[in-house]
Amino acid sequence: MIEIKHLQKTFGDKHVLKDVNLPIPKGKTTCILGGSGSGKSTLIKCLIGLLDVTGGQILVNGKDITRIKSEIKLAAIRRKFGYLFQEGALFDSMTVGQNVTFGLKYLTDVPESEYPKIIKEKLALVGLKEDVAKLNPSELSGGMKKRVSLARVLAVEPEVILYDEPTTGLDPIMSDIISDLIIDLKAKLGVTSVVITHDMHSAFKIADYIAFLYEGNILLYGTPDEFRKTDNPYVKQFVTGSSQGPIQMKLMKE
C-alpha cells in the first residue's frame, strides 16, 4: 500500500533522514524502531504530510504524495491516514465524546444525529464503556487517554493508522493492553498500521515486519523472528538493550 523510496529530510545542515527505503504492506503492522533522535518521528510526520521532504518519494497506492501540489488532492489522501499522537493530544476543553467526534465535523459529511452511535461504537472498539463519553480528559488515566485518542482516530475510519510511541508513559500492564488493542484492531478492521516505538516487547508482539532506523537509514528490515536472530551488531545491541556494543562506542567517541 505504501512504499518509501530514498527518502531524505534535512533541517538546515542536519541530515535526519539520509536514504530511507521501506515497504509498508497493506493490512499488516510495521514497527519502526530506533533510538532517541534517530528520526522515527520525523519519518512518520513526512509520511502523513506534516513535514515536507527534502528528497525521495512516498508512494501511496502508487501515487507519489511528495509531488502533489493540489491541497484538495493532498487532503483526499491524508484522509486515508489516522495519526495517534504520542501524548494523545486530547482537547481539555471538550468532553471525551466531543473529542471522539471532532474529526467528523471537518473530515466527513456524517450528520450529527449519527454522533452518539459512533461514539458508543468507537469507544467499545478500544475497550471503553459508553458513559466515559461524558467525562473530561482530566478525569482519565494515561491509558484511558490513549484509548480515547485512538477512538477519535477510528471515528473517521482511516485505512492507515500511524502510532507515535503508543506505549510511552504507560506501566507494563497498560502497555500490553495497548499492544493487544493494536492487534485486535488489525484483525477486526483490516487496517494498515505503522508503529513508531522503542518498546521491544511491544514490537515483537504486534509487528508483522520491523524496520530499524539508525543514522538516517534503515539498517535492517524483516520479521520479528529475523530480528531475534540477527547478527547485525547495532540491531543486536538495541534488541538486547545492552550498554556494551557499537552504538555505545560511537556515542563515547562523540
Other CB atoms within 10 A of residue 106 CB: 7
For residues 66 and 58, is the Cβ–Cβ distance under 8 A? yes
244, pLDDT greater than 70? no
CA distance 74 to 68: 7
Rounded to an integer, the average pLDDT of 55-71 is: 88
Instruction: Quote the mean pLDDT of the chain.
Output: 87
What's the gap between Cα 35 and its chain centre?
Answer: 16
Which residue is associated with the grid cell 493532498? 74
- Chain segment 105-144, per-residue pLDDT in tens: 877 888 889 999 999 999 999 889 989 999 999 998 888 8
Identify which of 94, 98, 104 has the alpha carbon closest to the alpha carbon of residue 158: 104
**Given this model, what pLDDT does residue 213 score?**
93
What is the residue-wise DSSP string for 170-185?
Answer: --HHHHHHHHHHHHHH
- Chain segment 183-197, per-residue pLDDT in tens: 998 998 899 999 998
CA distance 195 to 31: 5
pLDDT band for position 88 (cuts 50, 70, 90): low
Rounded to an integer, the average pLDDT of 67-87 is: 81
pLDDT band for position 237 (cuts 50, 70, 90): confident
The dihedral of CA 249, 251, 252, 254: what is its sign?
positive
pLDDT band for position 7 (cuts 50, 70, 90): very high
Q: Mapping DSSP to helix (H, G, I), strand (E, B) and coil, where does residue 121 land?
A: helix
Question: Is the pTM above the cut of 0.85?
Answer: yes
Helices (H), the chain: 40-48, 71-78, 96-100, 102-107, 115-125, 142-155, 172-189, 200-206, 224-229, 233-240, 246-253
Q: Percent of the chain at pLDDT above 90?
A: 45
13, pLDDT greater than 50? yes
Rounded to an integer, the average pLDDT of 84-90 is: 77
**Given this model, what pLDDT does residue 242 score?**
64
CA distance 89 to 129: 21
Residue type present at position 223:
T
87, pLDDT greater than 50? yes
**Given this model, what pLDDT does residue 249 score?**
46
What are the cell numbers at 208? 508483522
Identify which of 120, 107, 173, 177 has the alpha carbon closest to the alpha carbon of residue 151: 120
Q: What is the 3-state secondary structure (H, E, C) of 8-24?
A: EEEECCEEEEEEEEEEE
